[in-house]
Structure 1
Amino acid sequence: MLGIFGLIAVAVFIVFLVGLTVKVWMNKTYSGTKKVFLSLAVLLFMIVLVYGLFFFVLVDSDQASYYTTGGKHFEDIDNEMILENAKEADYQVQGPFYVNVRPQDSAGIYPDDLPELEQHLGTDYILKFSTYYYNADKIMEIFFIAEDETIITFFNYSRPDPYFSPFKVEHLPDDRWMIDRMIAVFGFDEQTARSHLQEMKTEIENENRPKMEVARPIVPSALYADLQKMSTSSNFSLTYGEGNTALMFYEDERLAGKINCVVPNHRIVHETDEATYTVKVDKLGGVDLYVELAAGERIPEETYTAGFKKMFRDIGLPEAAVEEYEFNYSSSAW
C-alpha cells in the first residue's frame, strides 16, 4: 500500500511543483513564451504523476481471489459464541457490517415500532426498501434512504422492453391503489397523496421518470400492517452471510409484497503466508467464504478447503460443511 507517508511525500512534491511554477512566472528575466513553455512542462509532469500514482494504486491494491457461488445458511447457530470462539483462536474479528459497509455509512432506517420483525431479527437491523406487487407485471418500490428521505419508484414488466422502453402513465397501477398505499405508509391525507401522484405523472409525461421523492419518513408499523392486511401468510427469506433478508407476504400463492432488511455480519479473518481467509457470518446464521491472494496467484483447492475446515473447527461450525461450498477463481480484482 502507498501508506500515509507516501501520500504526504506526493502532496509535498505537488506543492513544490506549484511553487516552482509561481517562481517561474515571477522571474522577470524569462520571456512570456519561456514562461508558458515551462508552465506547460510542469503541468504535463503533474498529469503524468497523477496518472502514474493512480496506476500504482490499482496495481498495488490488486488481488486474486477464490469466492463462493453462494453462501450457506446454518440453522440454530450461536452467533455470539462463534465470534467469541474466533477471538479466542486469535483470528481477527471485523465488523459489524451491513452487507459490506459500516453502520454509519449504510442507507436505510432503524425502526423501533416493529415487534413482529424484532422477534426474528433482533433490534439492530436496518429497513432498506419495500416492494408492493400490484400484479405480476406492475410493482411499486419504496426505498428508505434516510429518516427524512424516501423514494418511490414504479416498474412495469409488460412493456415491450421493460428496461429501456419509455415508461408512460398507463404503465402505472390503478390510481386508487397507489393513493391507498401512500396514505397507509406515510399517513398522508387524500389531497396530499393525490398531489404527489399528479407531480409524478407530470414527470412521467415530460421525462418518462416514474419516481417520486418524499421528504418525509414512512411509518414502519403502518407499512407492516398494510402488507399484512393484503396477505394471507408471510415468512422470512434465509440469509447467506451478508445479512440480507426479506419478510415475504403472500396472498394465497401470489407474492403480494415484501420488506427487505439487513442484519449485521462480522468477518472472521485468518492471514497465512500464502493467503488471507475470510469467513463472513451474519446474525441469522448465514455464512460465506472468501480467499484473497496476490494478483495472479493460485493455491490448490485442498489447501484453502483445509484452511477453512480448521477455521470452522476453531469457531464452532461443522467443518464437513466446507465441502458443500463451490468456489470460483478470479486472477484480478480489475
Structure 2
Amino acid sequence: MDKKSKIYIAGHRGMVGSAVVRKLEREGYQNLVYRKSSELDLKDQPAVKQFFEDEKPDFVVDAAARVGGIMANRDYPWQFLYENLEIQNNLIAAAHQHDVKRLIFLGSSCIYPKHANQPMQEESLLTGSLEPTNQWYAIAKIAGVKMVEALREQYDRDYVSLMPTNLYGPNDNFDLETSHVLPAMIRKFHDAKEAGHKPVTLWGSGSPMREFLHVDDVADAVYFSLTNRMEYDLYNVGTGKDITIKHLAELIQNIVGHDGDVEWDTGKPDGTPRKLMDVNRMKEEGWEYSIELEEGIRMTYEWFLENIDDIKEVKI
C-alpha cells in the first residue's frame, strides 16, 4: 500500500471508521473513499456492487455495523443478526469480486464463547456457547470471520479479521438505551452531576471483568494490518488487561467529578463474567496498544464535553 492507493472505509462516520480515517490522513493517505448511508445503503447488494465497480478501491476497511449494548441486543435481535449479515456479506463479496488487494474485517470479542478460557485466544472460536445477551451480533460477526478465512483458503486472498475488545473514544454512542457500558457510564455520571450530584443506578452487580481499548489504538492496529504482511486470518486486538465494572465506574465517577451515590441494580444482567483477550498473536506481529485506560477516559470525557450539543440519541 502506497500513499496513492485508493482506500475505502465503510462506516466512516462511526467511532471506529472515523478513527481509521483520522489515522490514514495523519499518515499522508489522501485517496480515501467513503459514503454516507444516505448515499450508499450497504444492505443493498446491487448498490454495493455498483459502487465497487465505479470506484475500484485497492484496499477496504469494513468498520460498518449495527452495534449496541446489552439492552439494544436484547430488544432488537433480528436487526443485529440480519442487518450485520447483509452489510458484511455485501462488502466482503464485492471486495473479492472486484479483486481488492487487502480487506480488513472488524468484529468483536463477543464472538468467543461465554465461558471461554481466559484470556481468550483466537483458537477459542466456536468451542462453546455464546453469551445470550449478544449472540445475534456475535453470530453475524463469526460468519464474517469465516468468510474471510474461506477466501484466504480457497482464493489466497490477503484479507484479515481483527477482533477488538470493548472500544471507546471520540464519536462513541452515548445514548443510554443503545450504548455500551463505558460511554453509558460517562453519560449517566455527567447527567447526574449536572442535576446536583444525584445518585446513579448501574446495571448488574459490578463484578464482571472487562477489557477496554481506545478507538485510536484500534485504528492504529488497522493501519498496521494494512501496511504489513499478516501471517494469520484472525487477530485479537486489545490491551491484555481488564478491570471490574465496579472499578470502571469508580474511575469514571472520579474523572467526571460526580459526588453522589452509586446504586447497583442486581436484577439486571451482568453478561459474560469475564472477557479478556489474549493479544500475543498481534504482539508477535509487532503491534501493541499505547493509550492507558485512565488517560483514554479523560480524553473521551473531554471530547464528550466539547461535543455535547451535537451528540444525538441513537435509535434502532
TM-score by length of 2: 0.21
The one of the two structures with greater contact order (alpha-carbon pairs below 8 A, sep at least 6) is 1
Structure with the largest fraction of strand: 1
TM-score by length of 1: 0.20
